[in-house]
Structure 1
Amino acid sequence: MADMQQVFLDAALEAGRAIMSIYENGIDVSYKEDQSPVTAADEQAEAIILAHLARAFPDIPVIAEESVAAGVVPDITGKAFFLVDPLDGTKEFINRREDFTVNIALVENGVPVAGIVYAPAKGVAYRTIAGGAEKLIVTDGVVARSETIRCRPRGEVLTAVASRSHNSPETEDFMRKIGVSDFTSVGSSLKFCLLAEGVADVYPRFGRTMEWDTAAGDAVLRAAGGTTECADSTAFAYGKTRQDTDSDFANPPFIGWAHLPSRS
């Protein structure tokens, strides 16, 4: 998997440079059919990532957010596939907050087995590696140093991370129910990464997400010793098509855990 991880890193860093150029020089916003915002940064970053993946892995299909919005959806039946969100946290990006990310993941048999989450404005990336996960410090677009990360054991104080832009009453109720003592509001897939590096315990998400929003961060969390499950405690899987209750690749409510959840 080392070669794939290098491709992921190279693609994410180049996409991050394109995103930051637009971030620093002016952001024009348009809206897709579902009224979600999109910018030139989303489109340029996706084109860069797709080019890297096509060169290195031409036989692996890619499900990418902007391509899907344009009607480009390859067949993934029975196949490993990539999930790409070129700019997760577009609202954070538009509002000039720093917690937006580039997300690239590989899914096999419904499980995200490799991934990278890169936050170019923060100069930090998280990725899966052989046998675990690591955090990268990125300076001027170049990796300056790395450190292995691991989820922390459950302690007496339970810390939650939740969406800055998409919190909900269900989230608040869940946190009360499990006895959350501390709460941090963060945008994008960085929430998974905070669990993976051992600074938080649980990430509840009851609002709607898509698979490309979650796969890379979920891969990092699982590699660091955590788990993600549906809110009803069933397995949280990828490659969901022909769903009765939602569109292709839409996620149900889920909970990310840095350790095994307590069962009542």
Structure 2
Amino acid sequence: MSDKQSVSVIGLGSMGGALARAFLDAGHPTTVWNRTAAKADDLVAAGATRAATAGDAIWASDLVILCVLDYEAANALLEPNADMVKDRVIVNLTNGRPEQARRTGAWVTARGGAYLDGGIMAVPSMIGKPGAFVLYSGSGTAYERYEAALAAMAAPVYVGEDAGLAALNDLALLSAMYGAIAGARHATAMVGPERAPEFTTSLLIPWLRAMAAVLEPSEDEESPLDMQAVGLVNIAQGSRAEGVDDALLTHLLTPMRDIIAAGEGAVLTELVKEIR
């Protein structure tokens, strides 16, 4: 018999399947359920137990992982099984908004369960490997009890008792990621498709890694706003000279507006109006 805590994983898409596999690989007795039963076949062959229903999966383990499309889908699975939630720790790894997490957390708590909301900061291939982490918020007691088990999926990071905090931090981190991706797309458009692969490998990625240090809080102003204003104007005008679509310039709007609000870079005002 395994001395590892048992776990149920509900939702076996590409991410949910990777989560269940990570628990199996770590030696946790794992029960799985998916609306399309065939998605559990490989996991069952690897040692998982197939639950006949979502309710059976909830009943099978004290630790229940939900990884479905959205909160509507998660709630649709939980609500018909309200009498099975008591004494269970429900970990909802569904992407959503803070208020959705708080509502679902309140519903679980009212029925005698403990709730953790989570934000997975990884793609499926990263699960169970260094570099992946999952944000958690909600019941601190539940988190402490199952922290070691949750680490089978990815490094666990607890951000607070407010169930909405994991979703809030998740969305904030994704916003930063999409901003970086938008900037990278703009950059490769500027140099053109022929130069883009070499530019990305030899210059862009090393540059972004080095510049990540700029995000560290500092009292020193290494790049005055008036200098940034000149740089932004040159980026916008240089992009247009290279035939880059203005739509790819929108990631520059926020720094442009910040500089204008600070009373610097008046020349940016017209550019902001044009790029909107």
TM bucket, shorter chain: under 0.3
- RCO higher in structure (CA 8 A, sep ≥6): 1
Q: Which has more helix, going by share of residues?
A: 2
* TM-score, with structure 2 as normaliser: 0.23
Q: Which has more strand, going by share of residues?
A: 1
